[in-house]
Chains A and B, each alone.
Chain A
Amino acid sequence: MMDAVSAPPFERFYLQHRDAILAFLTSRLGRQTAEDAFQETFLRALAAYPRLRHTDDLRAWVFTIAARIVTDEHRRRKPAADVPVPDVPAADDRRPAYAELDDLAGALPKTERTAVVLRYGYDLTYADIGAILDSTEEAARQAASSGVRRLRRKGIDHDRFGFR
């Protein structure tokens, strides 16, 4: 495998992304919960930092951590029904969709990978994903859709992930 570019010192990474992460969490969870989720996001990032596989897109990486925390928080709030949580496997013990997608999408080009994982793994809107990618809603939609086409060509099960 190619020698990975090493990640920047954590301090730089944190300073660079903290405001955007807090804004995202605040919009999803409200201010009070967002502050707890903020700490949780960066503590998880800190724990996982030495094991990073892709250091080329740290912004998307930290957003997937934040998105996972939002998903967990929504589940905790409304454990019963009508929560837009993607594909929670009920009676089987498959890995959560986001974890499986993360692996499957690993070989996609960076932007497509991020768009597919955030859209189908975490159910983020294209507007959110556009913001995360420093791009537009439309570009995010296109990236997700070409990522999905690429995965389909490899025969990846799209029912499982709700690909459209």
Chain B
Amino acid sequence: MSAPPRVLLVEDDKFLRRACEASLRQRGFEVTTANDGEEGLRLARSVPYADIILLDLLMPKMPGVDVLRALKAHPETASIPVLILSNSSREDDKQQALQLGAAGYYVKANLSLRELALQVDRLVHGNAAH
């Protein structure tokens, strides 16, 4: 039995952070959380690296887009899949995130935790297969 997949959750809203963390833990993931972009980026660059990063866009200190750009610019973090969890359904935001290399883009209000866990699972195991 391998070690549980590590999830880095970067989310400034504490209720969302709590609900998401609880749901993923229940489903057997190891979850690390960050309250803002700066902390998110710092944790993302810390060893051991996360298997997947869940990233909010609208956050204090550093917007999610900048975090994403920084992660993709660094070879050691570039290959970690990043799922964007935003509440903006603006097409521009979505396109920008996908162009920067995000693995997916979800509007939190329209996403159930169950579906989120399925996506995370799919991405982690797809990644782990390599």
A and B pair up: no
